[in-house]
Amino acid sequence: MSTKIGVGIIGTGRRGYELAVCMAKLRSQIDLEVRALNNRTFVRTQETQQSLKALYGESGSVPSIKLHGCYADLIADPNVELIMILTPNYAHRDPTVKALQSGKKVYLDKPLAHNLDDSLAICREQKRTNNPIIMSFTRRYEKPWIQLQDLIRKGIIGTVRMILTRDIIPYHVYFHTWHRRMDWSGGPLAGKMSHIFDVCNWYTQDTPARISAFGGQSVFKPDPHAPECCSQCDRDCPYRVDKKAAKHRQDEMIDSGVSRFAEREIIKRHDNCVWLPGADIDDHGVINVEYTQGVKASLSWAVFGPDSEDQETFEIVGDKGRIRLIRHGGVIDIVTDYGKRHEVMDERKDDFSSSHFGADDAFVIELDQFCKGGTPRATSKEGLLAARMTEAALRSMRADGQLVRMEEIEDVRS
């Protein structure tokens, strides 16, 4: 009898494909085995199946990978024991609820959902079924962030007083794809800054009490004369998406398969013009958080145009020193003993250049252990707290920076 754990993936876009590839490449270290796929566009399910068969074939026998036309059939598949939901943010709720009800193991990609209502619905169902959800807040699996947490716990900078984050996000593709609408993605606060909210919560081991925020759109303002998509445009534009360019971008979140460029629906297209009216997400913001034990966190973020590395700097300030992590460089800069000592640590490992700086491989190994009874680093509890912080920040931004108390944001009580 096979000891392999059958995996079914709902959503075979960029993120679903990444994790499927990790499982195939790590097959000698884990018992997870992809056995079923589902996607809203069936042809891309076929594309993923072909790629996975080739990857599995490089290191041994190829598992049978069934394609399902609807996610309910995948959830009911008797060969599937772990259900992974990697759909767009707005499509998290229904498949996750049904997966929880099946009693099978459940993975849900962050964020929990695109809005607080769906996040609460998922958590209520998780509580009712008592079926835990594992989530992949990737920084919890990146080695530099783990090392940074260890340094904080050792007290080398004393008592933590402040957290300062600078996030420059070179993802103009947020305006090309389904991310461009709040009711589809929840905006960069849900999709990107939920990671940072989670890290702040993780490092402080505390809960936020109050949040204020400012933000809006200053770069990608709609142009009423914009073409619908890049394939219909002859402008000289640095943000153009085409088949040739998509294959060479370092980190552009655009699926470059031929089928993607045949899409006609705005919600499915990945080459919508960045200036096309209808995009209502924010492209910059400043968020201030006060924790119950007094730590203050200041988060600045901006989506800007040029293709470059994702530039994220995270700094912890204590009463005896400070530590700064430059994420894309894997460098930790440390000042201790009230400024008398300065050290720089290079935390780049052999797998640093792989997906999410090596975090995805580490996560997949933990996912394997979760299916065998292990305790995950992040669950729906952490996901809901990040979702509540996102809601608080959005409310404050829409109210010109008005202070929002976390007690005003609905929670699922124990």
Phi/psi of residue 276, each to 5°? Answer: -60, 125
Q: What is the pLDDT of residue 215?
A: 96
How far is the CA of 276 from the CAs of 9, 192, 218, 220, 305, in angstroms?
32, 22, 15, 9, 15
**CATH number belonging to the domain at 5-137, selected among 3.40.50.620, 3.40.50.720, 3.40.190.10, 2.40.160.210:** 3.40.50.720
pLDDT category of residue 254 using cuts at 50, 70 and 90: low
* Mean pLDDT, residues 387-412: 97
Cβ neighbours of residue 375 under 8 Å, at least 6 residues apart? none
* Mean pLDDT, residues 61-65: 91
Whether residue 249 is predicted with pLDDT greater than 60 in this model: the reply is no
pLDDT category of residue 258 using cuts at 50, 70 and 90: low
CATH numeric code, 139-220+280-408: 3.30.360.10
- The Cα–Cα gap between 227 and 369 comes to 48
Cβ neighbours of residue 36 under 8 Å, at least 6 residues apart? 6, 7, 8, 9, 65, 66, 67, 68, 74, 77, 79, 80
* Mean pLDDT, residues 118-144: 96
- The Cα–Cα gap between 92 and 198 comes to 19
Whether residue 60 is predicted with pLDDT greater than 90 in this model: the reply is no
320, 280, 318, 264: which is closest to 179 by C-alpha? 280
Phi/psi of residue 386, each to 5°? Answer: -65, -40
Through-space distance between the first and last CA atoms of the chain, rounded to whole angstroms: 40
* Mean pLDDT, residues 313-341: 95
- The Cα–Cα gap between 118 and 112 comes to 8
pLDDT category of residue 251 using cuts at 50, 70 and 90: very low
Question: Residue 140: helix, strand or coil by DSSP?
Answer: helix
- The Cα–Cα gap between 73 and 67 comes to 10
- The Cα–Cα gap between 339 and 293 comes to 25
pLDDT, averaged across the chain: 91
* Mean pLDDT, residues 39-60: 89
pLDDT category of residue 357 using cuts at 50, 70 and 90: confident
Q: What is the pLDDT of residue 413?
A: 75
Are the beta carbons of 83 and 74 closer than 8 angstroms?
yes
Give the pLDDT confidence of 136-146 residue by residue, as tens digits. 999 999 999 99
Give the pLDDT confidence of 68-82 residue by residue, as tens digits. 999 999 999 999 999
Q: Which residue has the tokens 């995805």?
A: 360
- The Cα–Cα gap between 94 and 102 comes to 13
Q: What is the pLDDT of residue 246?
A: 47
Q: What is the pLDDT of residue 248?
A: 43
Give the pLDDT confidence of 193-241 residue by residue, as tens digits. 999 999 999 999 999 999 999 999 998 999 999 999 988 888 888 888 8
Whether residue 51 is predicted with pLDDT greater than 60 in this model: the reply is yes
- What is the token pair recorded at 204? 């402080």
Return the domain boundaries, the chain: 5-137, 139-220+280-408
Q: What is the pLDDT of residue 247?
A: 47
Cβ neighbours of residue 67 under 8 Å, at least 6 residues apart? 36, 37, 38, 42, 45, 46, 49
Are the beta carbons of 86 and 10 closer than 8 angstroms?
yes
Q: What is the pLDDT of residue 99?
A: 98
Cis peptide bond prior to 63, omega within 30° of 0: no
pLDDT category of residue 261 using cuts at 50, 70 and 90: low
Q: What is the pLDDT of residue 232?
A: 86
Give the pLDDT confidence of 168-178 residue by residue, as tens digits. 988 888 999 99
| Residues recorded for the chain | 414
